[in-house]
Amino acid sequence: MGLGKKLDIEPLGEQRWSRIERDLFERVAEAEARAEPAVERVASAPRWRMATALVLAGAVAAVGGAVAWRSLSTPARVVAVVPSRITTAAAGSSVNVGEATLDLAPQSTVFVSGDDAQGVTVALDRGRVECEVPPRKGRPPFSVDAGDVIVRVVGTHFAVTRSDTDVKVDVERGVVQVVTAGRQIDVHAGEHWPTESVVSAASARPPPSPEPAAVPSATTPSSATPPPSPRELYESASRLEASRPDLAVSMYRDLASRGGPWGMNALFAQGRLELDRGHAGEARRLLESYLARYPSGPNADDARQLLERLR
Amino acid sequence: MTPLRKVADLELAKRCCAGEHAAQRDLFQREKRRVHATLYRVLGSNAEMDDLVQVAFLEIFKTLRGFRGEASLGTWIDRITVRVAFAHIAHRKTAPVSLAVVADVPTGDASAEERAMTRQAARRLYAVLDRVEARQRIAWVLHVLEGKSIEEVALVMEASAVLTKVRVWRARRAIEAHARRDPLLKEFVSPASAGGERG
């Protein structure tokens, strides 16, 4: 037996990986803020979330005629200290609010108030805002108010979309609490609100009565949203590996059953993830299946190496 | 590496360089275990792993501007990770490596007693490696523990194959010198697994 096989690598737990990831990207954000104080950064990436990043330190800037941002003591953090309005036009914007990051889609408007000490409220008037928020444990509250729907943050990465009649919440990591019509609903990583069942039920209802609807945001199903592409599903599953490995495995399985290039990648990823979770038998089966189906696939060498470790 | 993979790697590197956090997270998710495995093999414990993994990825994000796709992205990442490990070893004060917290991960069909012996031997091995020159240690670890060929190690360490062979040989000689006085270590680093037969 070779030495490398004798010496197992002590795995890091999922919670530890999550902590490492969180701390890493806080350091990335701090490094970016240090590198670009008091400037408006225009990113070259085509996606809206990267279209524009506003990083202001020790200054007041105006966006849409009435936006004010000011930094606190350190240049690495930018905190809204007065009620501020941000409106995006054709391009989106990325803004730091204390320890949180808000990514605004094009044609969106938010009002931001509060700070890290008092808590932050983001009022979404229209459009979509994607939030990266540190866990609230020991921190003041962070909430997104979208009309009849309030999203209270527990500590997560999530997005809220508001149209004239509809509000959608998509949670990538962590948990948020949706408060609407006197009800509270916890939405976890990988989940959406309203759920399909709520939307379907709302769609099947008779035309709305003059009284307020029980779930006002669900009266218009978001049928305009296209289904996620295989690539998007794969990327979602990849992001869920740490926080919801069961869900990630399920998504990979579903993708793998569809075939195609992303199905091929998903089959390998499922095998790798099962191995990480200590499910050696299932991992072996999946990796062998990958090699049988895609002997020259991009991860074929990786699959062989993993199988070698399993022997 | 397939052309498709190469194009995908270049695209991912480009997005990371542009500061796209989603791409950086994708890269982190894809390669975190690779980075961890390299650091763990070189250092022998997870004691300071959180910070080292972060430092490695910060360096990776920073240096990806120089990635042109000549080697695979994996090799690039290994190279940066090894630099981080080297800097860590070179700057730290000598401290005993603790493997006491190693999880009781099943290792094939080995009995619990064998696993305990393996951990004990591993602890002694890393104590010896702490006294080996950092570059020699890394070369030996990558070649013997990670199973990379001499050419791969040379690529990762940005050294010639000849120099890499010399480093591996010197580290092996130091380990064997200790092993002569330590039967457990001797059995553990038996000639067949001591790294002299490949490359």
- Rounded to a whole number of angstroms, the distance from the CA of B93 to the nearest CA of chain A is 23
Could you tell me which of A287, A244, A247 has the C-alpha nearest to residue A267? A287
User: What six digits make up the tokens of A160?
Assistant: 């809220």
* Amino acid letter for position B106: P
Mean pLDDT of A116-144: 76
DSSP A98: B
Distance (Å, whole) CA A211 – CA B115: 69
Average per-residue pLDDT for chain B: 82
Q: What is the pLDDT confidence band of residue A7, given thresholds at 50, 70 and 90?
A: confident
Q: B112 and chain A: CB distance < 8 Å anywhere? A: no
Contact A138, A166 (CB under 8 A): no
User: What six digits make up the tokens of A300?
Assistant: 């074929």
Tell which wins on pLDDT, A151 or A285.
A285
**Most confident residue range from A25-39, A265-279, B81-95, B124-138:** B124-138
Contact A283, A271 (CB under 8 A): yes
DSSP A223: T
Q: B144 and chain A: CB distance < 8 Å anywhere? A: yes
> What residues contact B113, with CB distance under 8 A and at least 6 apart?
none
pLDDT at B194: 45
Contact A72, A63 (CB under 8 A): no
Mean pLDDT of A279-287: 89
Q: Is the pLDDT of residue B153 over 90?
A: yes
The string over B68-103, giving b where at least 16 C-beta atoms fall within 10 Å of a residue's C-beta and e elsewhere, is eeebebbebbbbbbbbbbbebbeeeeeeebebeebe
Q: Is the pLDDT of residue B197 over 70?
A: no
- Rounded to a whole number of angstroms, the distance from the CA of B162 to the nearest CA of chain A is 23
Distance (Å, whole) CA B38 – CA B77: 10
User: What six digits make up the tokens of B27?
Assistant: 């890269």
Could you tell me which of A273, A299, A104, A201 has the C-alpha nearest to residue B2? A299
Q: Is the pLDDT of residue B96 over 80?
A: no
Q: What is the pLDDT confidence band of residue A35, given thresholds at 50, 70 and 90?
A: low
> What residues contact B69, with CB distance under 8 A and at least 6 apart?
B6, B9, B10, B13
- Rounded to a whole number of angstroms, the distance from the CA of B129 to the nearest CA of chain A is 14
CB atoms under 10 Å from CB of B179, counted, come to 22
pLDDT at B163: 92
Contact A131, A125 (CB under 8 A): no
Q: B92 and chain A: CB distance < 8 Å anywhere? A: no
Contact A299, A290 (CB under 8 A): yes
Q: Is B131 exposed, middle or buried (0-12, 13-18, 19+ CB in 10 A)?
A: exposed
Tell which wins on pLDDT, B95 or A176.
A176
Q: Which residue of A has its CA nearest to B39?
A: A9
Q: Could you read off the pLDDT of A172-219 as tens digits, one per residue?
A: 877 787 776 656 778 887 788 876 544 443 333 333 333 333 333 333
* Stretch among A211-220, B82-91, B131-140, B186-195 having the lowest mean pLDDT: A211-220
Mean pLDDT of B78-87: 94
Mean pLDDT of B92-103: 45
Q: Do A6 and B193 touch (CB under 8 A)?
A: yes
Q: Is the pLDDT of residue A49 over 50?
A: no
Q: Do A21 and B28 touch (CB under 8 A)?
A: yes
pLDDT at B151: 93
Phi, psi of B138 (to 5 degrees): -65, -45
The string over A9-47, giving b where at least 16 C-beta atoms fall within 10 Å of a residue's C-beta and e elsewhere, is bbbbeeeebbebbeebbebbbeebbeeeeeeeeebebee
Contact A101, A29 (CB under 8 A): yes
> What residues contact B140, with CB distance under 8 A and at least 6 apart?
B129, B132, B167, B168, B171, B172, B175, B195
Partner A, chain B 154-193, Cβ-Cβ below 8 Å: 188-189, 192-193
DSSP A194: S
Question: In sequence order, what DSSP letters do the residues of A269-282 get, joined into one string?
Answer: HHHHHHHHTT-HHH
Q: Do A3 and B194 touch (CB under 8 A)?
A: yes
Model-level ipTM above the cut of 0.90: no
Q: Could you read off the pLDDT of B65-80 as tens digits, one per residue?
A: 888 877 889 999 999 9
pLDDT at A58: 31
Q: Could you read off the pLDDT of A224-263 as tens digits, one per residue?
A: 445 677 787 887 788 777 777 888 888 888 888 888 888 8
Distance (Å, whole) CA A207 – CA A219: 9
Mean pLDDT of A286-309: 85
Instruction: List C-alpha distances in Å: B46 to A108, B56, B79.
Output: 45, 14, 20
CB atoms under 10 Å from CB of A206, counted, come to 5
Q: Is the pLDDT of residue B105 over 80?
A: no
Q: Could you read off the pLDDT of B164-194 as tens digits, one per residue?
A: 999 999 999 999 999 888 888 888 887 544 4
- Using DSSP's 3-state secondary structure scheme, residue B2 falls into coil
Helix axes of A260-276 and A230-243: crossing angle, nearest 10 degrees:
10
State the Rg of chain B over Cα: 18
Q: Do B20 and A43 touch (CB under 8 A)?
A: yes
